Chain A
Amino acid sequence: MPHPTAAPPPGTPFVALAAVAKSFGAVRALRGVDLDVRSGECLGLAGHNGAGKSTLMQVLVGNVSPDEGRFTVQGEDVAGRLTVARARQAGIACVFQELSLCPNLSVLENARIRHASLKGFGWRGRAARLITRTLDEIFPGHGIAPQALVSDLPLGQRQMVEIASVFAQGDHEAPLRLVILDEPTSSLDNSVAAQLLAHVRRFVSAGGSVILISHILGEILSTCDRIAVMSDGRVVDLREAGAFTRASLVEAMGHVVSHEAGETLVSAEAGRRGAVVASATTPKGGSIRLEARRGEIVGLAGLAGHGQTSLLVLLHNAAQGRSRYAAVTGRVAFVAGDRQTDGVFPLWSIGGNVTVRSLSRLGRFGLVDPAREKRLAEEWRTRIKIRTPDMDDNILTLSGGNQQKALFARALGSDAEVILMDDPMRGVDIGTKQEVYALVRAEADKGRTFIWYTTEFDELKSCDHTYVFRSGRIVAELGRHELTEARVLQSSFEGEAA
């Protein structure tokens, strides 16, 4: 593979950001980021979910335009003017977490999509040679045929193709200067991951730059020259990699650890009491079994997408039929976090969306009684404060937070004894959150059980017991008195122990 040509001397900033800020509505994703990426270095980026890493990367590749701040590429100010095409001209490319390959096309056809210069007569042959050459270089012994359909490849090989098509350097293309790798090794096995990291070192020693985002701390510590830690939309720590240890890195990520030891100690309970109403193991194995007792609020923690939602769906299905992995006694209700996909019925009124889970209870002579339906809807309108003039209005007339309240009302207003919550506070304003927390606590005291997946540490503090997920397994369980952000992070990130 041709390496960056005419690279500037190592150490000069290739990209520099100063006080870059970006908001999406009320959410401030970036609150003033200062960061530079030098030529010939690998920069590690660490931080938990929602720290702003992904938004920052979207800014660098030109997908997102920052609201404020200075942004230069090779000294040229590009703030607000960087497009995807210009970023590519400048030699910036990204391997995204969600694979961007077209599954219905072959490996070489996917290479053609990224490399527009592969055109004219015989492009298939040239595309096949380009992608094979790059795969050979990064992943010797990869065993991927360029004619293979991407949908036929296992996930790991798809990731390899994705990486190789980014690193591939076609003829007449702008030299590749900065490659962003967003969780590149999450679907690769250890030896292939090692091949990739070795290639990263070769690429930077030839003068290129790499930004490596990974939740496997060992990988960041061993591969990167410098490590930046992000939290709450800012870079909160930036040091030479050698100046970090695993422990100090975890500590830096959780810099907001609140010191409320007194409060938590007071409520530290003496063991768990009550009948077990739900239990489950993760299908991927793991030694820890999730148990939820009557009246408990059980938290599911860990990084997003590590098997928490799947476990909730498993528990939900177990209540309807049988499951090899989970057992639930009693009725369940599900509070969706992904409202559009899992929750809202867009053609129905707010009332209809609230009562759908309870219809069989609202019957008379086998028919749903509109008066009782209306009463249930009105009761929850006041109890959970859904802000609408009329529960008969369409659900989509509500703001996101109020739609979420309607989904809570659907579950809380039902006869369910176990309530599964799939990170339901996403994009919900703080006022609503406080109202719902209080309601959840009150309902738990009445004997309902809540199993609550959340990506926000603060919400775990409301939980009696917390299970931490990593790579589809439960890797730690913490009682209320043992819960600290550092311990949750430690369990979420530890790589080699698994």
Chain B
Amino acid sequence: MSAAESETRGARRRLPPMPQAFSFIGAGLIFAATLAFTGGAGGGQILSTALTFATMYVIVGLGQMFVITTGPGNVDLSIPATIALAGAVAMTVMGGEDGSIALGLLAALGTGVAVGCFNYALIRLLQIPPIIATLSASFLVQSSAIAYGRGLRVRPPPAFADFATGRVMGVPYLAIATLLLSVLMAVLLHRTVYGRSVAAIGQNSRAAHLAGIRVDRVRFLTYVLSAVLAGLCGAVLAGFSGGSSLNMGEEYLLASIAVVVVGGSSVSGGQSNVSGLWGASLFLYLLVTMLNTFGVGAGLRYLLTGLIIIAIITLAGGPRAGRA
């Protein structure tokens, strides 16, 4: 991917050449360990399922990655609530009719735009730190989702559900669509003025301002982008799981941050990695699958998941530690 090339070029002599390699190697090792345990059975099935779920991680991870890249302190914690609200809105607008799919998707994206604007209004106008602003916004958004959904479970239109669960030669449609989305985002990040501005702000926002970058505008767009992608994820997730539910976004709070960091993007901003998101998402899903296959209990599973994420971040992030 051209993204990876330009990253390594820009970062020469400062970073390990392929920060995303860790996540892919990790995912590969875990997959191998799982297969060794099962004696090679069910490999294709595991991989296919992993691709589906990794896709969701990748969608929200893309938005979170842009936010985290704008520098220390920037993070979007309203992703789970946005997923819940957008999922409910999308399902209600579609109303089970194939003809309303496009409208429903637009409504989900529109929900994202609204949440993103609200987030940034809190951050910019009220000067609330992003972590608090997006967290408190998520309570409001989640309440809206509860009020809006009123416990109704609207089923997705058949065509949408087919798309969300369908596969071609074992590869989910979703994974193909998300791969295209990732390429688009990589282009946005590395080849547009907006993407370059995000990376510049993440390194030094004062210098970025003095280099003529409209810092506020770029940060605003970034929070909107993150919420829009969360909205998209909400619609897709609802389609995949036969209707939206209020808690379907829950696991994406930590997952969205974990895939960004494990995927080789810098926690301190300015440096991001699209392909690493895929490695990290597969890694994360396969890790849970492996522990399930081993028959590990829930408590131990969480413990091991946490420890392994810490380990991979330490390994991958080691050479970057010099930058405060």
Q: CB distance B196 to A344 under 8 Å?
A: no
Q: How far is the CB of B197 from chain A (nearest CB, A)?
A: 8
Is A336 part of the contact surface with B, judged by Cβ < 8 Å? yes
Would you give the shortest CB distance from A298 to chain B, in whole angstroms?
A: 19
Chain A 121-148 per-residue mask, 1 if CB under 8 angstroms from chain B, else 0: 0000000000000000000000000000
Q: Is B204 on the interface with A (CB-CB < 8 A)?
A: yes
For A391-428 the 0/1 string (1 means CB < 8 A from B) is: 01110110000000000001000100000000000000
Tell me if A113 is interfacial: C-beta within 8 Å of chain B: no
By a CB distance below 8 angstroms, the chain A residues around B199 are 345, 347-348
- The CA-CA distance from A59 to B74 in the complex, in Å, is 43
Asked if A346 meets B323 with Cβ closer than 8 Å, knowing A341-B206, A368-B193, the reply is: yes
Q: Are B200 and A356 in contact (CB under 8 A)?
A: yes
Give chain A residues whose Cβ lies under 8 Å from the Cβ of B206.
Answer: 341-342
- Interface check B169, CB cutoff 8 A: no
Q: A341-B207, A347-B199 are in contact. Are A359 and B14 (CB under 8 A)?
A: no
In the complex, B11 has a CB within 8 A of chain A: yes
In the complex the two chains form, is B271's CB within 8 Å of A334's CB?
Answer: no
Picked from A343, A352, A396, the residue with its CB within 8 Å of the CB of B14 is A396
In this complex, the interface size class of chain A, counting residues with CB under 8 Å from chain B, is 20 to 34
Interface string of B263-297 (1 = CB under 8 A from A): 00010001100000000000000000000000000
- Residues of B with C-beta under 8 A to A447: none
Q: Do B203 and A345 have beta carbons less than 8 Å apart?
A: yes
Question: Which chain B positions have C-beta within 8 A of A11?
Answer: none
Q: Is A294 part of the contact surface with B, judged by Cβ < 8 Å? A: no
Please report which residues of chain B, range 120-179, place their CB below 8 angstroms from some CB of chain A when the two chains form the complex: none
Q: CB within 8 A of A357: which of B15, B192, B203, B211?
A: B211
Bound-state Cα–Cα, A347 to B206, Å: 15
Q: List residues of chain B with CB within 8 A of the CB of A359.
A: 193, 196
Taking a contact as CB atoms under 8 Å apart, the answer to whether A367 and B192 are in contact is: yes
Q: Are A348 and B203 in contact (CB under 8 A)?
A: yes
**Cα–Cα distance between A343 and B212 once the two chains are bound (Å):** 11
Contact in complex: A393, B12 (CB < 8 Å): yes
Nearest CB to that of B11 among chain A residues? A347
In B234-280, the 8 Å CB interface with A consists of 266, 270-271
Name the B residues within 8 Å of A396 (CB-CB): 14
Q: A336-B210, A368-B191 are in contact. Are A345 and B204 (CB under 8 A)?
A: yes
Task: Judge whether B46 is part of the interface by a CB distance below 8 angstroms.
Answer: no
User: Is B10 close to A, CB under 8 A?
Assistant: yes
| A443, B207: Cα distance in complex, Å | 24
A360 interface residue, CB < 8 Å from B? yes
Give the CA-CA distance A360 to B193 in the complex, in Å: 6
Contact yes or no, B207 A392, CB < 8 A:
no
Asked if A320 is at the interface of the complex by the 8 Å CB criterion, the answer is: yes
| Secondary structure of the A contact surface, majority rule | mixed
- Let me know if B4 is at the binding interface, CB within 8 A: no
Question: A394 to B12, Cβ gap below 8 A?
Answer: yes
Annotate A305-316 by CB proximity to B: 1 below 8 A, 0 otherwise.
000000001001
CB neighbours of A230 from chain B (8 A)? none
> Are the CB atoms of B207 and A343 closer together than 8 Å?
yes
Q: In the assembled complex, which residues on chain A have CB atoms less than 8 Å from the CB atom of B187? A: 367
Closest to A313 in B: B210
Contact status B14-A320, CB under 8 Å: no
Evaluate contact between A366 and B192: CB separation under 8 angstroms: yes
**Cα separation A313 to B192 with both chains bound (whole Å):** 26
Contact flag A392-B196 (CB < 8 Å), given A347-B271, A368-B191: no
B204's nearest neighbour on chain A, judged by CB, is A345
A346 touches B9 (CB 8 A): no
CA distance A352 to B15 in the complex (A): 16
- Near A by CB (< 8 A), chain B positions 198-221 give 199-200, 203-204, 206-208, 210-214
A188 vs chain B, min Cβ distance (A): 30
Chain A 350-363 near chain B by CB (<8 Å), digits 1 or 0: 00100011011001
B13-24 CB contact bits vs A (8 Å, 1 = yes)?
111000000000
Q: Find out whether the CB atom of B12 lies under 8 angstroms from the CB atom of A368.
A: no
A330 CB to nearest chain B CB (Å): 13
Among A331, A342, A370, point to the contact of B210 (Cβ < 8 A): A342
Residues of chain A lying within 8 A (CB to CB) of residue B210: 313, 316, 334, 336, 342-343
Interface centre among A344, A349, A363 (most CB of B within 10 A): A349
Q: Which residue of B lies closest to A334 (CB)?
A: B210
A397 touches B9 (CB 8 A): no
Distance to closest chain B CB from A208 (angstroms) = 42
Q: When A336-B210, A410-B211 are in contact, do A346 and B191 touch as well, CB less than 8 Å?
A: no
Q: Which residues of B contact A331 (CB under 8 A)?
A: 212
Chain A contacts for B14, CB-based, 8 A: 346-347, 394, 396
Cross-chain contact of A334 among B12, B211, B214 (Cβ < 8 A): B211
- Which of B9, B214, B271 is in CB contact (< 8 Å) with A349? B9
Interface assignment of A333: CB less than 8 Å from any CB of chain B: yes
Whether B214 pairs with A320 at a CB distance below 8 angstroms is yes
Q: Which of B193, B207, B323 contacts A344 (CB 8 A)?
A: B207
Residues in B with CB closer than 8 Å to A316 are 210
Q: How far is the CA of A360 from the CA of B196 in the complex (A)?
A: 10
User: CA of A346 to CA of B322 in the docked complex: distance in angstroms?
Assistant: 12
Q: If A346-B323, A348-B10 touch, does A368 touch B192 (CB 8 Å cutoff)?
A: yes
Q: A356-B200, A363-B193, A367-B192 are in contact. Are A347 and B12 (CB under 8 A)?
A: no
5 A–B pairs (Cβ distance < 8 Å), ordered by A: A347-B14, A347-B15, A347-B270, A348-B10, A394-B13
Give residues in A with beta carbon < 8 Å to B.
313, 316, 320, 331-334, 336, 341-349, 352, 356-357, 359-360, 363, 366-368, 370, 392-394, 396-397, 410, 414
Top 6 A-B pairs, shortest CB-CB distance: A334-B210, A367-B191, A345-B203, A359-B193, A347-B270, A394-B13
Given A336-B207, A348-B203, A392-B10, 14 more contacts at CB 8 Å?
A316-B210, A320-B214, A342-B210, A346-B14, A347-B199, A349-B9, A349-B12, A356-B196, A359-B193, A359-B196, A368-B196, A393-B13, A394-B11, A396-B14
